[in-house]
Structure 1
């Protein structure tokens, strides 16, 4: 893990197309802005994890459905 210190208004670059900028620091909250190409999906970690879990559940359901269909032939 790379750990960087940044002040309000400063940013870091990830590759040559993604910029993460510190917009404000208010108490224990940091507001950041992310500039990235539209093709790059940007999610909060908890949203990303929920999406991953839903994808896993969908795969499990699909396998169960396929097995059920195979048995019915």
Structure 2
């Protein structure tokens, strides 16, 4: 990991197309601005981690197919009555 020190208003450039600028420093919180081409996806790490965790949880859950089929039949019957 590359570690750099920057002050408010200073930037770093990544591969000539991405610029990260320190906008504000308030105690242990900093506000950064990122300028990048629109096709570059920029996400907060906690969101990526959350989605990965939910995907793992979904895959690990066992679905009772017979029960699911029965629920679908009931839904079809009740929608036909309407």
TM-score (norm 1): 0.70
In the alignment, which residue of structure 2 is the partner of 1:14? Answer: 14
CA shift in 2, pair 1:57/1:16, >3 Å: farther
In the alignment, which residue of structure 2 is the partner of 1:31? Answer: 31
Deviation of the 1:53 alpha carbon:
3.5
Residue ranges of structure 2 left out of the alignment (5+ in a row): 66-82
- The number of residue pairs the alignment matches comes to 63
Please tell me the root mean square deviation across aligned C-alpha atoms, in Å: 2.0
TM-score (norm 2): 0.63
More relative contact order, 1 or 2 (CA 8 Å, 6+ apart): 1
**Which structure would you say has the larger Rg?**
2
